[in-house]
């Protein structure tokens, strides 16, 4: 599903479209490469043979050369996908009125994945300038994460995307690499497993046993997709650009590398590292705002058929009592603080365990609400109650995705505050 799924915008509701798999017919055999806001079709399978790494590299060089020639006149069509979903759905309908645009959209929507070749990002975009001369010319984690998340605006790399596609691999001219992925078809852990598989594959320089084309004479040139852009569509692009820039301005993102200790310390204290971090987040928030808020943490329920995620709630009475003791609002010596901390850890571990075993409250309540909606029944007043709204307003939205390599994931806020 990571490679055969597309999120198609709708006026009222988006549609998750899955393309053919081996049992249903012809699978997609091309990827879309975006460079300098221009779109190219790159066939990675030709005559039932997968292109070699050298073949693909040559094709990418061809694309770069073709795009450089047209960079001055390239329309930023990709920015349309960054608009509000209803707005983008209407813009897409305008594009579909033209036969050429329909063909371009079909190629993009049917591709295996999108490869975004980005312009380099100056180190001036770093969150913190390094005082270490050996690091002074390197980009920091925050800058690279923001490039993957939004691309720094339409004048930089934000239009060099197609946000409806599940997998967009981003390769920057300065060597930074990562991906932007649309969350609907898959959870983060599956994506990380894919990325780490790719990294391992690259390290081993291992090729699959498939026939390959050995000469470029047999490989067709990449095909450029030339959208027909009217003045009306240009106005839509301007609106999408404004919307994108507002979203970028509304997000603060900072990447922290914590080097004091790792997961082995909480394990040595018979504590779950995940629970340990969740309690640390609760304390940090309490120190700033003097209260706790509803907290979301993704809980995998993939052990169940069609299972996706439920919610591990970290805001508990035990967590609050410990936070009060830590900031001196309730008298407690070090021994008492440790006692309260362990009680909070135990409660968090119990919530985690119950949730991943299918006993969480969030999916259960959501299911009851959807039953009413699907059967055209009045939605029970529970779901419109102020308390229910507050408990589902996740000011803290968190996710723990274990990785083997030096990689990490990030996302924007789910509520305005």
With the CA atoms of 78, 81, 82 and 87 taken in that order, what torsion angle do they form, in degrees rounded to the nearest 10?
Answer: 130
Alpha-carbon 102 to chain mean position: 27
- How many Cβ atoms are within 10 Å of 294's Cβ, its own excluded? 17
What is each CA distance from 301 to 6, 150, 241, 363, in whole angstroms? 23, 29, 37, 11
Gap between the Cα atoms of 366 and 372, Å rounded: 10
Task: Please state, in angstroms and rounded to a whole number, the distance separating the CA atoms of residues 255 and 146.
Answer: 10
Tell me the pairing of strands 38-43 and 30-35.
Answer: antiparallel
Nearest-angstrom CA–CA distance, 171 and 174: 8
- What distance in Å separates the CA atoms of residue 231 and residue 70, rounded to the nearest whole number? 20
Structure tokens, 326: 């830590």
Residue 306 is encoded by which pair of tokens? 């069609």
CB 64, CB 224: distance < 8 Å:
no
- Among candidates 302, 310, 278, which has minimal Cα distance to 292? 278
> For residue 140, how many C-alpha atoms fall within 13 Å in the half-sphere facing its CB?
17
Distance CA 108, CA 384 (A): 40
Q: Which residues are catalytic?
A: 183
Phi-psi region of 150 (alpha: psi -120 to 50; beta: other; left: phi over 0): alpha
In sequence order, the 6+-apart residues with CB closer than 8 A to the CB of 34 are 40, 78, 114, 115, 116, 117, 160, 161, 162
Residue 32 β-bridge partners: 41, 114
How far is residue 300's CA from residue 292's CA, in Å, rounded to a whole number? Answer: 24
Distance of CA 33 to the CA centre of its chain: 19
Percent helix / strand / coil, the chain, rounded to 5: 45, 15, 45
């Amino acid at each position: 599903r990571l490679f055969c799924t597309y999120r198609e915008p709708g006026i009222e509701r988006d549609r998750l479209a899955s393309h053919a798999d081996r049992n249903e017919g012809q699978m997609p055999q091309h990827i879309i490469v975006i460079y300098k806001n221009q779109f190219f079709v790159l066939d990675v399978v030709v005559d039932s043979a997968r292109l070699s790494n050298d073949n693909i590299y040559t094709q990418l060089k061809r694309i770069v050369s073709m795009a450089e020639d047209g960079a001055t006149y390239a329309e930023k069509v990709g920015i349309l996908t960054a608009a509000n979903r209803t707005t983008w759905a209407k813009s897409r309908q305008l594009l579909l009125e033209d036969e050429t645009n329909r063909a371009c959209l079909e190629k993009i929507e049917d591709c295996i994945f999108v490869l975004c070749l980005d312009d380099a990002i100056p180190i001036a975009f770093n969150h913190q300038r390094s005082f270490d001369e050996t690091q002074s010319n390197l980009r920091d984690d925050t800058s690279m994460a923001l490039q993957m998340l939004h691309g720094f605006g339409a004048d930089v790399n934000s239009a060099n995307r197609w946000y409806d596609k599940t997998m967009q691999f981003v390769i920057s001219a300065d060597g930074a690499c990562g991906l932007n992925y649309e969350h609907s078809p898959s959870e983060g852990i599956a994506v990380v497993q894919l990325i780490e598989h790719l990294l391992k594959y690259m390290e081993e320089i291992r090729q699959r046993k498939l026939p390959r084309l050995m000469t470029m004479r047999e490989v067709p040139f990449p095909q450029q997709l030339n959208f027909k852009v009217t003045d009306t569509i240009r106005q839509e692009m301007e609106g999408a650009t404004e919307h994108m820039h507002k979203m970028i301005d509304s997000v603060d993102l900072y990447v922290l590398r914590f080097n004091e200790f790792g997961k082995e310390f909480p394990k040595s204290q018979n504590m779950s590292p995940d629970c340990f971090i969740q309690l640390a987040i609760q304390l940090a928030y309490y120190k700033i705002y003097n209260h706790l808020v509803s907290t979301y943490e993704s809980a995998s329920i993939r052990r169940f058929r069609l299972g996706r995620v439920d919610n591990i709630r970290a805001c508990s009475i035990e967590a609050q009592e410990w936070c009060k003791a830590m900031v001196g609002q309730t008298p407690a010596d070090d021994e008492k603080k440790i006692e309260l901390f362990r009680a909070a850890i135990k409660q968090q571990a119990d919530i985690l365990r119950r949730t991943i075993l299918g006993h969480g409250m969030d999916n259960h309540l959501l299911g009851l609400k959807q039953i009413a909606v699907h059967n055209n029944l009045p939605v029970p007043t529970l779901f419109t109650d102020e308390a229910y709204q507050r408990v589902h307003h996740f000011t803290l939205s968190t996710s723990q995705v274990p990785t083997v390599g030096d990689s990490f994931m990030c996302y924007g806020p789910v509520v305005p505050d």
